[in-house]
Chains A and B, each alone.
Chain A
Amino acid sequence: MELSQVLLPSMGEGINEATLVKWLKKVGENVEKDEPLLEVSTDKVDTEIPSPASGIFLQAVASEGMTVEVNSTIAWIGPQGATIPKLTETTSGLQGMKRRSQDQVGQGTTQISAPTNSANIPKNAGHVPSLIARGGDFEELTLKRSSPLVRKMAFDYGIDLRRVIGTGANGRITKHDMDRFLASPGAFAEPVSAMNTFAVASDPLLAKVSTKVVDGKETLEGVPVKREKMSKMRRLIAEHMVESVRHSPHVTTTFEIDLNNVVLVRDKCKKAFADKYGFNLTFTHILIRAAVLAIQRHPIVNVSVDGDEILWKDQINVGCAVALGNEGGGGLIVPVIKNAQTLSLTDIALKLTDLATRARSKKLAADEVVGGTFSVTNPGGWGSIHSNPIINQPQVAMLGIGAIVKRPVVIDNDKIVVRPMMMASLTFDHRVIDGEGGAMWLATYKEILENWTEIPSL
Chain B
Amino acid sequence: MSTNTFDLVVIGSGPAGYVGAIRASQLGLKVALIEKFNHLGGTCLNVGCIPTKALLESAKTWDKLGHANEQGFEIGSPKFSWNKIMGRKDKIVDDQRKGLRFLMKKNKIETFEGHGRIAGKGKVSVTHSDGKVTSLETRNIMIATGSRVRELPFAKSNHKGIMTSDDVLFIQEVPKSMAIIGGGVVGVEFASLFGRFGCQVTVIEMAPQILPFEDEETAKELTRCLKKQNVIIETNTKLTSIQDKGSAGVEVMTEGNQPRIFEKVLVSIGREPVTDDIGLNTVGISTERGVIKVDLATYKTTIDGIYAVGDVIPTPMLAHTGSAEAYHCAEVIAGKKPHKVHYESNPSAVYTYPEVASIGQTEKQLKEKNISYKVGKFPFSPMAKAKIEDSTDGFVKILFEPKYNEILGVHIVHARATEMIAEFSLNKVLEGTLDEIAHTIHPHPTLSETIMEAAHAGLGGAVHL
A residues lining the B interface (CB < 8 Å): 86-92, 113, 115-116, 120, 122, 130-131, 147-150, 152-153, 156, 168-169, 174-175
Q: Nearest Cβ in chain A — how far from B205, in angstroms?
A: 36
Q: Which residues on the A side are within 8 Å of B433 (C-beta)?
A: 148-149, 152
Q: Nearest Cβ in chain A — how far from B115, in angstroms?
A: 39
Asked if A148 and B432 sit within 8 Å, CB to CB, the answer is: yes
Asked if A130 and B404 sit within 8 Å, CB to CB, the answer is: yes
CA separation between A131 and B439, bound complex, in Å? 11
Point out the residue from B431, B461, B463 that lies within 8 Å of A147, measured CB to CB. B431
Indicate if B438 sits at the interface (CB-CB under 8 A).
yes
Asked if B436 and A86 sit within 8 Å, CB to CB, the answer is: no
CA separation between A169 and B337, bound complex, in Å? 11
Q: Which residues on the B side are within 8 Å of A147 (C-beta)?
A: 430-432
Indicate if B406 sits at the interface (CB-CB under 8 A).
yes
Point out the residue from B431, B439, B456 that lies within 8 Å of A149, measured CB to CB. B431
Indicate if B335 sits at the interface (CB-CB under 8 A).
no
Q: Which residues on the B side are within 8 Å of A87 (C-beta)?
A: 461
Q: Which residue of A lies closest to B459 (CB)?
A: A89
Q: Which residue of A lies closest to B339 (CB)?
A: A169
Going nearest first, the 8 A-B pairs with the smallest beta carbon separation are A147-B431, A90-B439, A149-B431, A86-B461, A152-B404, A88-B461, A90-B438, A89-B459
Within residues 443 to 461 of chain B, which ones have a CB less than 8 A from any CB in chain A?
456, 459-461
Point out the residue from B339, B430, B439 that lies within 8 Å of A92, measured CB to CB. B439
Q: Nearest Cβ in chain B — how far from A92, in angstroms?
A: 6
Asked if B432 and A149 sit within 8 Å, CB to CB, the answer is: yes
Q: Nearest Cβ in chain A — how far from B331, in angstroms?
A: 13
Contact A89/B431 with A149-B404, A153-B404, A169-B339 known, Cβ cut-off 8 Å:
no
Within residues 397 to 411 of chain B, which ones have a CB less than 8 A from any CB in chain A?
403-406
The winner among A149, A152, A174 for most chain B CB atoms within 10 A is A149
Q: Nearest Cβ in chain B — how far from A233, in angstroms?
A: 29
Q: Which residue of B lies closest to A150 (CB)?
A: B431
Q: Nearest Cβ in chain B — how far from A130, in angstroms?
A: 7
Indicate if B7 sits at the interface (CB-CB under 8 A).
no
Q: Which residues on the A side are within 8 Å of B460 (C-beta)?
A: 86, 89, 120, 122
Asked if B461 and A91 sit within 8 Å, CB to CB, the answer is: no
Q: Which residue of B lies closest to A168 (CB)?
A: B339
CA separation between A152 and B439, bound complex, in Å? 15
Q: Nearest Cβ in chain B — how far from A110, in angstroms?
A: 16
Q: Nearest Cβ in chain A — how far from B399, in angstroms?
A: 15
Asked if B406 and A149 sit within 8 Å, CB to CB, the answer is: yes
A-B pair number, CB within 8 angstroms? 57
Q: A88-B461, A90-B436 are in contact. List 18 more A-B contacts (CB 8 A).
A: A87-B461, A88-B456, A89-B461, A90-B435, A90-B438, A91-B436, A116-B461, A122-B460, A130-B404, A147-B430, A147-B432, A148-B432, A149-B406, A150-B431, A152-B433, A168-B339, A174-B431, A175-B431
Q: Nearest Cβ in chain A — how far from B107, in angstroms?
A: 25
CA separation between A63 and B432, bound complex, in Å? 24
Contact A88/B431 with A149-B404, A149-B406 known, Cβ cut-off 8 Å:
no
The winner among A86, A89, A116 for most chain B CB atoms within 10 A is A89
CA separation between A168 and B432, bound complex, in Å? 14
Q: Which residues on the A side are within 8 Å of B438 (C-beta)?
A: 88-90
* Majority-rule SS of A interface residues: loop
Asked if A148 and B436 sit within 8 Å, CB to CB, the answer is: yes
Asked if B435 and A131 sit within 8 Å, CB to CB, the answer is: yes
Q: Which residues on the B side are within 8 Å of A120 (C-beta)?
A: 460
The winner among B403, B431, B462 for most chain A CB atoms within 10 A is B431
The winner among A88, A122, A131, A174 for most chain B CB atoms within 10 A is A88
Q: Which residues on the B side are within 8 Å of A148 (C-beta)?
A: 430-433, 435-436
Q: Which residues on the A side are within 8 Å of B439 (C-beta)?
A: 88, 90-92
Q: Nearest Cβ in chain B — how far from A39, in angstroms?
A: 28
Q: Which residues on the A side are within 8 Å of B432 (C-beta)?
A: 147-149
Q: Which residue of A lies closest to B430 (CB)?
A: A147
CA separation between A87 and B460, bound complex, in Å? 9
- A-B contacts, 26 of them at CB < 8 A, read A88-B438, A88-B459, A89-B435, A89-B438, A89-B459, A89-B460, A89-B461, A90-B436, A91-B435, A91-B436, A91-B439, A92-B439, A113-B463, A115-B462, A130-B404, A147-B430, A147-B432, A148-B433, A149-B406, A149-B433, A152-B404, A153-B404, A156-B403, A169-B339, A175-B406, A175-B431
Q: Which residue of B lies closest to A147 (CB)?
A: B431
CA separation between A130 and B439, bound complex, in Å? 14
CA separation between A90 and B455, bound complex, in Å? 10
Contact A115/B404 with A148-B430, A148-B436, A149-B431 known, Cβ cut-off 8 Å:
no
Q: Which residues on the A side are within 8 Å of B405 (C-beta)?
A: 152
Q: Which residue of A lies closest to B427 (CB)?
A: A148
Q: Which residues on the A side are within 8 Å of B461 (C-beta)?
A: 86-89, 115-116
Asked if B463 and A115 sit within 8 Å, CB to CB, the answer is: yes
Q: Which residues on the B side are within 8 Å of A88 (C-beta)?
A: 438-439, 456, 459, 461
Q: Which residue of A lies closest to B440 (CB)?
A: A90
CA separation between A92 and B430, bound complex, in Å? 18
Q: Nearest Cβ in chain B — how far from A166, in angstroms?
A: 12
**What is the 8 Å Cβ interface bit string for chain B, positions 410-443, against chain A (1 contact, 0 not)?**
0000000000000000000011110110110000
CA separation between A147 and B460, bound complex, in Å? 23
Q: Which residues on the B side are within 8 Å of A131 (C-beta)?
A: 435
Q: Which residues on the B side are within 8 Å of A152 (C-beta)?
A: 404-405, 433
Q: Nearest Cβ in chain A — how far from B66, in angstroms?
A: 37
Q: Which residues on the A side are within 8 Å of B430 (C-beta)?
A: 147-148
Q: Which residue of B lies closest to A149 (CB)?
A: B431
Q: Which residues on the A side are within 8 Å of B404 (C-beta)?
A: 130, 149, 152-153, 156
Q: Which residues on the B side are within 8 Å of A115 (C-beta)?
A: 461-463
**What is the 8 Å Cβ interface bit string for chain B, positions 336-356, against chain A (1 contact, 0 not)?**
000100000000000000000
CA separation between A172 and B461, bound complex, in Å? 32
CA separation between A40 and B436, bound complex, in Å? 28
Q: Nearest Cβ in chain B — how far from A94, in angstroms?
A: 12
CA separation between A174 and B406, bound complex, in Å? 13
CA separation between A86 and B433, bound complex, in Å? 19
Q: Which residues on the B side are within 8 Å of A174 (C-beta)?
A: 431
Q: Which residues on the A side are within 8 Å of B403 (C-beta)?
A: 156
CA separation between A264 and B447, bound complex, in Å? 86
CA separation between A147 and B342, bound complex, in Å? 15
CA separation between A168 and B404, bound complex, in Å? 20
Q: Which residues on the A side are within 8 Å of B435 (C-beta)?
A: 89-91, 131, 148
CA separation between A175 and B430, bound complex, in Å? 10
CA separation between A150 and B433, bound complex, in Å? 10
CA separation between A152 and B405, bound complex, in Å? 10
CA separation between A176 and B456, bound complex, in Å? 27
CA separation between A148 and B436, bound complex, in Å? 8
Q: Nearest Cβ in chain B — how far from A142, in angstroms?
A: 13
CA separation between A122 and B430, bound complex, in Å? 28
CA separation between A153 and B403, bound complex, in Å? 9
Q: Nearest Cβ in chain B — how far from A85, in angstroms?
A: 9
CA separation between A168 and B439, bound complex, in Å? 24
Q: Nearest Cβ in chain B — how far from A175, in angstroms?
A: 5
The winner among A87, A131, A168 for most chain B CB atoms within 10 A is A131
Q: Nearest Cβ in chain B — how far from A81, in angstroms?
A: 19
Q: Which residues on the B side are within 8 Å of A153 (C-beta)?
A: 404
CA separation between A403 and B333, bound complex, in Å? 77
CA separation between A122 and B460, bound complex, in Å? 8
Q: Which residues on the B side are within 8 Å of A156 (C-beta)?
A: 403-404
Q: Which residues on the B side are within 8 Å of A150 (C-beta)?
A: 431
CA separation between A441 and B201, bound complex, in Å? 100
CA separation between A70 and B459, bound complex, in Å? 24
Q: Which residue of A lies closest to B438 (CB)?
A: A90
CA separation between A152 and B461, bound complex, in Å? 21
Q: Nearest Cβ in chain A — how far from B296, in angstroms?
A: 14
